[in-house]
Amino acid sequence: MSDEQQPYMREVRSFVKRSGRMTPSQAKALETQFAQYGLKLEQGLLDLTAVFGREAPLVVEIGFGMGDSLVAMAQAMPEKNFIGIEVHEPGVGRLLNNVALAGLTNVRVFCADAIKVLEQCLPAASIDTLQLFFPDPWPKKKHHKRRIVQPAFAEQLRGHLRVGGIFHMATDWQPYAEHMMEVMTAAPGYRNPLGEGQYAPQPEHRPVTKFQRRGEKLGHGVWDLMFERIS
C-alpha cells in the first residue's frame, strides 16, 4: 500500500490538553520563572548533575496538576531532586510561582508530553521514584487504550528507573486500580514488595491531593500501588 493509500493513524495520547484559565500570576511565572526552573524537550538528553548542580536521588512526577503536592514533597525532602511533568500551562505556572516563592532549588519542570520526556530527555537508570497520582482513568471501555499504564509504558519506564527504584501509582477509580495491578504484575522486571495483588497504604510522604479529596467526597476509595524495578 502506498503512503497516499494508507489510512491516517492518529497518535493515541493518555491526556487531553484542556484550555484552563490562566491567572495573571501564573502567566507571569511562566514568563519570568521558566528560564530558571523549566526544561524543554529540545534540550535532549539531560545531564542531571548539571541541571540541579548536585547529585541526589531523583523523583519524577507525571501529571502534577496544579503542583501543590509536588511543592510540599520538595519542601519536605530537600535531599531529593524533583522533576514535574505536566501539559496544562496553568498548573505549570502555579508550580513555578510557588517554587519561586518558596525559594526551592530542587525542582524543575517540563510542560510537555511525559512519554516524549522519557524518550528524549531522561537518562537510563536515572529515576529513583516515578510518581503517577490520579491520572485520567478513561472509564469508558473504548477509551481504555488511552490509559497511560500499559505494558509498553511499563517497559519504557523500566529502562529509566534504577534497579531498586519505585513506580508509585495512586487512583480513586477502582477499575483503574485493578487495571494497573494487572499490568504491573505481568510486567517483566518488576515486583510488588508487598506481595502479589497487594495495594500499599498511603505513605506519609504523599500529600492528599485535591483529586483525592474530591474522590473521597464522592465516596470513592483510594488505591496506592508500588512496584520495584528488580532487573
User: Does 128 appear as a known binding residue?
Assistant: no
User: Does 136 appear as a known binding residue?
Assistant: yes
Distance CA(205)–CA(191), nearest Å, equals: 21
User: Does 28 appear as a known binding residue?
Assistant: no
Distance CA(44)–CA(121), nearest Å, equals: 5
At 105, which amino acid appears?
T
Out of 3, 47, 68, 136, the active site residue is 136
User: Does 113 appear as a known binding residue?
Assistant: yes
User: Does 224 appear as a known binding residue?
Assistant: no
224 has catalytic annotation: no
User: Does 47 appear as a known binding residue?
Assistant: no
Annotated binding site: 61, 86, 113, 136, 140, 172
Annotated binding site for substrate: 140, 172
Active site residues: 136
Annotated binding site for S-adenosyl-L-methionine: 61, 86, 113, 136
